[in-house]
């Protein structure tokens, strides 16, 4: 239960505040809202076009935090109510974005509008009304590492100066304009620069967050189940969909739920599932050799909490938020997910059918990739004393175990229902 006597990192009592959270209905927003409701007395104006992932926080009206969260179905592209909400709030957190790589080269205009143009009024309203802003950017603003331009066997590739990504030192290295993959990173970089300039010239109090592959329940969608059949989500949901499902069994349906909203999502219709089970092998783009560091959503949310409640330490800062210890290649991630799922479900390990696909085939013309993403943790450590805790194995295990238990209970309830005559 929320304790009114909570203190910040400097020992000062934390006052209850009102937060205007834009994109609250998404993956990160849903986890942030959950924790804000369960552990604090802060109020949230939850702004989004969708509310499915936070439905469990909005209904029923008897929930203990019911008077502290309000959902506003607003498309920030064109809604005059936004400024009013920002004015009424103490802090605005902007999470709204198109942020799935499959869109960057195929819908570059939507991507640029969403990540730059649509964020402009938010920055302007915060600046004009002297309101604090926490803006979600991305680790992708770093682009490629310096080391990626060296020959593969060059010894300097092993030197951290050539690959560790530092907020105040590393350059932002994108591909050429026809590599439209970088439309997202470039739009995010420009909005970062604009926010930074508003801080420098007009005194805007801001914090910029650069997430490094945050993962956990409710991430993205499973194509054809709770998202478009032809959609391509981020890698975890892609792998959940094709690598671990081999038949229509209770456990395969469970995996469909892996990154969905568990109990709040109705059991999928098996006929729709059959359409998904194309028997396609797991696709490793360009051999799955790109490297990523993955962080558990719950660790990352702790960092955001510290930013929210320690403005004096967070204002004017750009923070990497990731887990440098959880680095794998995409191929290793595929192998680990299969192994963890087998342990959690008690089913024998399946022979993972993987196939290499070219990025052109998978994402289309104009795709390009970040080679390696290791966040430097110096700034966030110094300012907020924060460190990630959860290993990749543990975060996959706890997420899958939770989902497995949740789904098993849902199955039991469904099968216990009397059949209608």
Among 145, 290, 317, 390, binds ligand UDP (CB under 6 A): 290
Q: What does 20 bind: ligand UDP, ligand NAD, none (CB cut-off 5 to 8 Å by kind)?
A: none
Q: Are 294 and 358 in contact (CB under 8 A)?
A: no
Closest approach of Cβ 101 to ligand UDP, in Å? 4
Residue 399, interface with ligand NAD (CB under 6 A)?
no
Instruction: Considering the complex, state which of residue 184 and residue 206 has its C-beta at the smaller distance from ligand UDP.
Output: 184
Q: Which stretch binds ligand NAD (CB under 6 A): 94-102, 151-159, 223-231, 412-420?
A: 94-102
Helix crossing, 182-202 with 108-115: angle to 10°? 20
CA angle 21, 263, 326 (to 5 degrees): 65
Q: What does 91 bind: ligand NAD, ligand UDP, none (CB cut-off 5 to 8 Å by kind)?
A: none
Residue 380 parent element (H or E): helix 378-384
CA angle 116, 69, 137 (to 5 degrees): 20
Q: Which stretch binds ligand NAD (CB under 6 A): 135-143, 264-272, 366-374, 412-420?
A: 135-143
**Could you confirm whether 184 is annotated as catalytic?**
yes
Instruction: Give the C-alpha distances (Å, rounded to integers) separating 164 from 135, 158, 161, 168, 321.
Output: 23, 10, 6, 12, 13
- Residue of 104, 125, 142, 184 marked active site: 184
Among 292, 313, 372, 404, binds ligand UDP (CB under 6 A): 292
What are the two backbone dihedrals, phi and then psi, of residue 48, each rounded to the nearest 5 degrees?
A: -170, 170
Site string for ligand NAD, 188-217 (x = CB under 6 A): -----------------------x-xx---
Q: What does 101 bind: ligand UDP, ligand NAD, none (CB cut-off 5 to 8 Å by kind)?
A: ligand UDP
Start-end of H helices in 25-107: 27-39, 55-58, 81-88, 101-104
**Contacting ligand NAD within 112-131 (CB under 6 A):** 114, 118
**Contacting ligand UDP within 90-119 (CB under 6 A):** 101
Cis peptide leading into 233, omega within 30 of 0?
no
Instruction: Considering the complex, state which of residue 40 and residue 115 has its C-beta at the smaller distance from ligand UDP.
Output: 115
Residue 52 CB coordination number (10 Å): 16
Please give the Cα distance from 336 to 259 (Å, whole number). 17
Among 65, 71, 125, 136, binds ligand NAD (CB under 6 A): 136
Please give the Cα distance from 201 to 185 (Å, whole number). 24
Closest approach of Cβ 196 to ligand UDP, in Å? 23
Residue in 414, 410, 22, 32 with CA at minimum distance from that of residue 218:
32
Residue 235, interface with ligand UDP (CB under 6 A)?
yes
Q: Which stretch binds ligand NAD (CB under 6 A): 24-32, 122-130, 358-366, 402-410?
A: 24-32
Closest approach of Cβ 53 to ligand NAD, in Å? 7
Among 19, 20, 21, 23, binds ligand NAD (CB under 6 A): 23
- The residue nearest ligand NAD at its CB is 26
Residue 421 CB coordination number (10 Å): 3
What are the two backbone dihedrals, phi and then psi, of residue 82, each rounded to the nearest 5 degrees?
A: -60, -45
What residues contact 84, with CB distance under 8 A and at least 6 apart? none
Q: Are 142 and 373 in contact (CB under 8 A)?
A: yes
Residue 396, interface with ligand UDP (CB under 6 A)?
no
Q: Count residues binding ligand NAD (CB under 6 A).
A: 24
Residue in 206, 235, 384, 373 with CA at minimum distance from that of residue 300:
384
Tell me how many helices (H) and strands (E) the chain has: 16, 15
Closest approach of Cβ 408 to ligand NAD, in Å? 26
Q: What does 96 bind: ligand NAD, ligand UDP, none (CB cut-off 5 to 8 Å by kind)?
A: ligand NAD
Instruction: Considering the complex, state which of residue 65 and residue 116 has its C-beta at the smaller distance from ligand NAD.
Output: 116
Q: Are 241 and 228 in contact (CB under 8 A)?
A: no
Residue 331 CB coordination number (10 Å): 18
CA angle 228, 229, 235 (to 5 degrees): 85
Residue 28, interface with ligand NAD (CB under 6 A)?
yes
Residue 330, interface with ligand UDP (CB under 6 A)?
yes
What does the binding site for ligand NAD look like in residue numbers (CB under 6 A)?
Answer: 23, 25-29, 48-50, 75-77, 95-97, 99, 114, 118, 136, 138-139, 211, 213-214
Catalytic residues: 184
What does the binding site for ligand UDP look like in residue numbers (CB under 6 A)?
Answer: 101, 140, 213, 234-235, 238, 283-285, 288, 290, 292, 330, 369
């Amino acid at each position: 239960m929320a304790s009114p006597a909570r203190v910040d990192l400097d020992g000062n009592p934390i006052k209850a505040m009102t937060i205007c959270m834009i994109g609250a209905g998404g993956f990160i927003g849903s986890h942030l809202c959950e924790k804000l409701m369960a552990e604090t007395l802060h109020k949230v104006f939850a702004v989004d076009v969708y509310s499915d992932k936070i439905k469990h926080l909005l209904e029923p009206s008897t929930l203990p935090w019911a008077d502290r969260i309000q959902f506003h179905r607003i498309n920030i592209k064109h809604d005059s109510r936004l400024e009013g909400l920002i004015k009424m709030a103490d802090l605005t957190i902007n999470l709204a974005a198109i942020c799935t790589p499959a869109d960057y080269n195929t819908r570059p205009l939507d991507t640029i509008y969403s990540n730059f143009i649509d964020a402009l009024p938010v920055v302007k309203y915060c600046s004009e009304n002297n309101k604090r802003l926490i803006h979600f950017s991305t680790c992708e603003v770093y682009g490629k590492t310096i080391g990626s331009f060296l020959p593969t066997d060059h010894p300097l590739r092993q030197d951290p100066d050539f690959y560790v990504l530092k907020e105040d030192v590393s350059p932002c290295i994108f591909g050429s304009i026809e590599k439209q993959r970088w439309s997202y990173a470039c739009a995010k970089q420009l909005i970062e620069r604009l926010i930074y300039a508003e801080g420098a010239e007009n005194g805007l109090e801001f914090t910029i967050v650069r997430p490094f592959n945050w993962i956990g329940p409710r991430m993205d969608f499973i194509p054809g189940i709770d998202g478009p059949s032809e959609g391509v989500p981020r890698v975890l949901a892609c792998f959940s969909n094709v690598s671990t499902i081999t038949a229509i069994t209770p456990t395969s349906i469970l995996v469909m739920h892996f990154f969905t909203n568990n109990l709040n999502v109705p059991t999928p219709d098996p006929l729709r599932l059959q359409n998904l089970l194309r028997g396609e092998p797991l696709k490793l783009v360009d051999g799955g050799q790109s490297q990523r560091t993955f962080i558990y959503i719950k660790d990352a949310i702790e960092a955001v909490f510290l930013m929210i409640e320690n403005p004096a330490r967070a204002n004017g800062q750009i923070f990497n938020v990731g887990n440098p210890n959880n680095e794998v290649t995409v191929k290793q991630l595929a192998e680990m997910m299969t192994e963890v799922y087998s342990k959690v479900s008690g089913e024998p390990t399946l022979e993972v059918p993987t196939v290499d696909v070219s990025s052109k085939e998978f994402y289309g013309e104009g795709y390009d990739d970040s080679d390696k993403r290791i966040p430097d943790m110096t700034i966030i450590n110094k300012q907020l004393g924060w460190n990630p805790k959860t290993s990749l194995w543990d975060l996959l295990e706890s997420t899958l175990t939770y989902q497995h238990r949740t789904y098993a209970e849902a199955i039991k309830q469904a099968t216990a229902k009397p059949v209608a005559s």
